[in-house]
Amino acid sequence: MIQSSLHCLVFALAALASLSAAAQDYPAKPVRVVIPWPAGGPTDVIGRLMVNKLSESLGQSFVVDNRGGASGMIGSEAVARSAPDGYTLLLNSGSTHVVYPGLFKSLNFDPVGDFAPVGIVGTTPVVVVAHPALPAKDMKQLIAYARAKPGALNLAIPGAGTLPHLISELVNSTAKVNMTMIPYKGTPPALTDVMSGNAHLTYVSIATTLPLIASGKVRALGITSAKRVAALPNVPTMTEAGLDGLEVFTWFGIWAPKGTPVRIVERLNAEIAKVADDPALKARYADISTDLEPMGTARFAQFFGTESRKWMKVLETAQVKPE
């Protein structure tokens, strides 16, 4: 009995030593970073900037795997089912994790329980953009137009449960307007249809839209930041348009599968904080109106919970029922 217990103890200590060594040597091979959205969208643009810096910082390839579909659920589920060894990570907008539990009656994975939060990699406001032919020049005019023509405006949303979708629902309920929502498989196709005139407007991260606004391919009507941003000084905030409480931002984070060794999670978190001070990354983030304030894993988990409660309340306010 004693000998058996000693064997178990030795085995357990050996396993712990192995995990510790693996964490210290991490990463010893390329790391796959799944972005569950098509290339060219805000998650992809911001995510690749961070992924490239992690590759440089850790001296190992971090390879992006765009696995879009089902509003980000296909790629997210793939990571949730991956080995918890730190070599498959999820880089995603927060909406999948904090909104989907209240938006869908059943999911093939647990957006909270199946993942270990690693760290936040950027925040950016959402801007409302419209086809240039739309008569409205700002948010106030858009609301007036929508009230005069109920259901006439087609609103492209980049997927159910995304932040643009929730903002759309909130604007509809707060402004008492009815804009018809059309779901798309990500931001790029939604923007493409707005530019072509097949849809009137969309809500999108400012990170991927500035060049289109500057070229006149779309018109910016309003922004969800607390105050106007330097990149779009003439675009009013939602509060200026009379929509109080619509001061929100999109945030992006990295998650590992549940069970990933804590040392690996902490190592990744520390590297995110390290590269956040890189002048080149700061400059690229500034170019797309994106901020990065690193959080420790505990603070990120706390932030995660706060965001979840906030958006559950938004779903309730906007009377969005689980599907």
Give the CATH number for residue 299. Answer: 3.40.190.150
φ/ψ of residue 61, rounded to 5 = -70, 130
Find the radius of gyration of the CA atoms of the chain: 21
pTM (predicted TM-score): 0.82
Last residue of a domain, one of 223, 241, 265: 223
- Inside any domain, residue 293: yes
| Tens digit of each residue's pLDDT, the chain (323 residues) | 455 555 545 454 554 445 455 556 899 999 999 999 989 888 999 999 999 999 999 999 999 999 988 888 999 999 999 999 999 999 999 877 888 888 888 888 998 899 999 999 999 999 999 999 999 999 999 999 999 999 999 999 988 778 888 888 888 888 999 999 999 988 899 999 999 999 999 999 898 899 999 999 999 999 999 899 989 999 999 999 999 878 888 899 999 999 999 999 999 999 999 999 999 999 999 988 899 989 999 999 899 888 888 888 878 877 777 67
Domain, as residue range, for 103: 2-123+251-317
Burial 139-177 (b: 16+ CB within 10 A, else e): bbebbebbeeeeeebbbbbbbbbbbbbbbbbbbbebbeb
- Inside any domain, residue 147: yes
258 and 119 together in one domain: yes
8 and 98 together in one domain: yes
117 and 263 together in one domain: yes
pLDDT at 98: 86
115 and 257 together in one domain: yes
21 and 158 together in one domain: no
Last residue of a domain, one of 176, 207, 223: 223
* DSSP-assigned letter for residue 237: B
Residues 6+ positions from 142 with CB-CB distance below 8 Å: 128, 130, 134, 136, 153, 201, 221, 222
pLDDT at 22: 52
27 and 113 together in one domain: yes
113 and 15 together in one domain: yes
- Inside any domain, residue 86: yes
Cα separation, 179 vs 43, whole angstroms: 25
204 and 306 together in one domain: no
- Inside any domain, residue 322: no
- Tokens matching residue 27: 């990463």
Cα separation, 186 vs 171, whole angstroms: 20
pLDDT at 70: 85
212 and 263 together in one domain: no
- Inside any domain, residue 242: no
In CATH, what number is assigned to the domain containing residue 152?
A: 3.40.190.10
205 and 132 together in one domain: yes
* CA 224 vs CA 17, 40, 248, 251, 319: distances in Å: 49, 21, 5, 13, 21
pLDDT at 309: 87
Structural domains in the chain (count): 2
DSSP string, 121-177: EEEEEEEEEE-TTSS--SHHHHHHHHHHSTT--EEEESSTTSHHHHHHHHHHHHHT-
pLDDT at 159: 81
199 and 266 together in one domain: no
116 and 131 together in one domain: no
Residues 6+ positions from 180 with CB-CB distance below 8 Å: 151, 153, 154, 155
- Inside any domain, residue 214: yes
Chain-centroid distance, C-alpha 240: 25
Is 232 exposed, middle or buried (CB count within 10 Å of its CB: 0-12, 13-18, 19+)?
buried
- Tokens matching residue 274: 């390290």
- Inside any domain, residue 80: yes
pLDDT at 236: 95
Last residue of a domain, one of 179, 205, 223: 223
- Inside any domain, residue 323: no
Q: Tokens 């018809």 sit at which residue?
A: 180
